[in-house]
Amino acid sequence: MNYIEVQNLVKSFKEKGRAITAVDNISFSVKKGEIFGLLGPNGAGKSTTINILTGLLEKDSGTIKVLGFEPEKNWEYVKNNSNVATAYSWLSDVLTIRQNLRVYAKLYGVKNCEHKINELLEMFELKNVADRKIIRLSSGENTRAVLCKGLINSPKVLFLDECTVGLDPDIADKTRGIIKDYQKKNDCTILFTSHYMYEVEELCDRIAFMSNGKIIRIDTSSNLKKLIKKHTVEIAVKKNIKLLREFLKTEGVDIVFEKDNSIVFEVTTEEDKMYKVISKIFHKGFMLSNLHVKGPTLDDIFIKIARQK
């Protein structure tokens, strides 16, 4: 069963007297219990899509369903069983974290809300600042408070828009762990956006890449990385760097960097070319002090799509 369905969604804005299409006839679906990444450069249409799905913006055309219902026709049910946490919205500055969470607990009709609030504060390591006003929080503390708000009603569908912005590496890692644990225990469906490709790869089952309001491709991380058919190889030798350079040129690889006794080159993964080149380097007797092979990453895919015109 699909818990999120988007069909032919369109949204335009007027800017300086002309129409700008932010979301251009996109379609996708997210299965129950799936973490689905929505990625792309700034201005691709990701946040606009989430704002439409969460009722903050009206669509121009197309259909959307959350939990099997059109939100505008079954808003109460959809609201009570979904939630959103985004880096682009803050809680009330004049209230403390605890007071904010009490407000949202009431809005969502959460039973035994004090227990739930304490559980979330403990989970996100906020108990020591729970009674501090939002305006006095660090950006990382605010981000975690927003995540508490996102889980206050134990949602079946969760929208996370740049939800780890401002977190230090340790807290960000713990937060990703909390998200994964929550998703597994509750079979929660999550629509996830981030500019941190490593966390997208760690969390998401499938990924949709957006550019200029359109969805370019939907696939798994491993399949997307196959779009780039090159590996980067870094080799350091104890001597004969010039001979290594000349050898690599005869093999038709692309040398991208050279310094001292190190050379970085790119080589195609097709027809086992990379393995053949490395094997020849060993057989020719070059004395290696370092060898590092790096496959394509989601960052490479992101850059490739972001630079498409």
Q: How many CA atoms lie within 13 A of 251 on its CB side?
A: 23
pTM given for the model: 0.82
Residues linked to residue 19 through DSSP beta bridges, in sequence order:
14
pLDDT of 309 above 60: no
**Which tokens belong to 288?**
């290696």
Strands 230-237 and 288-294: antiparallel
Q: What percent of the chain has pLDDT over 90?
A: 61
Phi-psi category of 109—alpha, beta or left, where left has phi over 0 and alpha has psi -120 to 50?
Answer: left
Instruction: Kindly report the average pLDDT of the chain as a whole number.
Output: 91
User: How much is the pLDDT for 219?
Assistant: 93
User: What is residue 248's three-state secondary structure?
Assistant: helix
pLDDT of 134 above 70: yes
User: How much is the pLDDT for 306?
Assistant: 67
The residues near 201 (Cβ < 8 Å, ≥ 6 apart) are 221, 297, 298
**pLDDT digits over 109-125, tens only?**
999 999 999 999 999 99
User: How much is the pLDDT for 308?
Assistant: 63
**pLDDT digits over 4-62, tens only?**
999 999 999 987 778 889 999 999 999 999 999 998 888 889 999 999 999 889 999 99
Element (H, E) at 25: strand 18-31
Are 277 and 231 in contact, with CB atoms under 8 Å apart? no
Handedness of CA 302, 157, 7, 22 (dihedral sign): negative
User: How much is the pLDDT for 164?
Assistant: 85
Report how far apart, in Å, the C-alpha atoms of 1 and of each of 5, 9, 25, 198, 241 are: 10, 20, 23, 28, 58
Size of the chain, expressed as the number of residues it contains: 309
How far apart (Å, rounded) are the C-alpha atoms in residues 190 and 158? 5
**Which tokens belong to 209?**
């890449």
**Which tokens belong to 202?**
């760690």
Select from 85, 103, 86 the least CA-distant residue to 94. 103
pLDDT of 89 above 80: no
**Alpha helices (H) along 137-208:** 139-151, 169-186, 197-203
Residues linked to residue 206 through DSSP beta bridges, in sequence order:
36
Please give the distance of CA 214 from its chain centroid, rounded to a whole number. Answer: 17
Question: Which has more confidence, 308 or 264?
Answer: 264
Please give the distance of CA 299 from its chain centroid, rounded to a whole number. Answer: 11
Are 30 and 38 in contact, with CB atoms under 8 Å apart? no
- DSSP for 49-76, please give it: HHHHHTTSS--SEEEEEETTB-TTTSHH
CATH numbers and ranges of domains, the chain: 2-220 (3.40.50.300), 230-306 (3.30.70.1150)
Exposure class string for 126-140: b at 16+ Cβ within 10 A, else e? beebbeebbeebeeb
Residues linked to residue 256 through DSSP beta bridges, in sequence order:
none
